[in-house]
Amino acid sequence: MSARPARDVTRTLPERKRIALIAHDGKKEELLAWARRWKSILAAHDLLGTGTTARRVADTLGLPVEGLMSGPLGGDQQIGARITEQRLDLLIFFWDPFSPMPHDPDVKALLRLAALWNVPVACNAASADFMISSPYVAENYDINIPDAGEWIASRTRT
């Protein structure tokens, strides 16, 4: 039995991407300024985010942003579930390196799932600039992800 799944299944990120926007309190103004700069591109995609961030981005940009639960109340885990279900295409998460938080385990879990499922992640304004200005943002883009079916089969074979 293998200790890790083979990463050999292709998933195609669609042209119209589902983009999660999340910022800790100490980084919210920075994320809002960033989102203002890229509004015309963000408008072409489906936006979602943790509760407070989503509301503030929606108010700032005047665009629809699906709001999940606030981060400390489980929103990071909801975003992680979207990743696991292959229903999220890009993650922009301005996490605050200066603020320990009660939901630090949730933050770590979200970043683990993004790494596991090969979802592009930007954790600060510079990486978000690079990500959102990539030609892949407006194109279909193939990523390799774990073969979940084979993983389960390998663990249930007798």
Ligand X SMILES: O=C(CO)COP(=O)(O)O
Active-site residue list: 76
- Beta carbons of 39 and 47 less than 8 angstroms apart: no
106 vs 141, beta carbon nearer ligand X: 106
Virtual torsion, Cα 39, 76, 79, 153, nearest 10 deg: 150
**Which three-class secondary structure state does DSSP give residue 18?**
strand
54 vs 137, beta carbon nearer ligand X: 54
The first and second tokens of residue 96, run together, are: 């605050």
Instruction: Output the smallest distance, CB 122 to ligand X, in A.
Output: 14
45 is in an annotated binding site: no
84 is in an annotated binding site: no
99 is in an annotated binding site: no
Instruction: Output the smallest distance, CB 36 to ligand X, in A.
Output: 17
The first and second tokens of residue 13, run together, are: 């990120």
94 vs 141, beta carbon nearer ligand X: 94
- Beta carbons of 42 and 19 less than 8 angstroms apart: yes
Q: Which residues bind ligand X (CB under 6 A)?
A: 22, 24, 50-53, 70-72, 75-76, 103, 107
Distance of CA 87 to the CA centre of its chain: 10
Known binding-site positions for substrate: 24, 28, 50-53, 70-71, 103
Known binding-site positions: 24, 28, 50-53, 70-71, 103
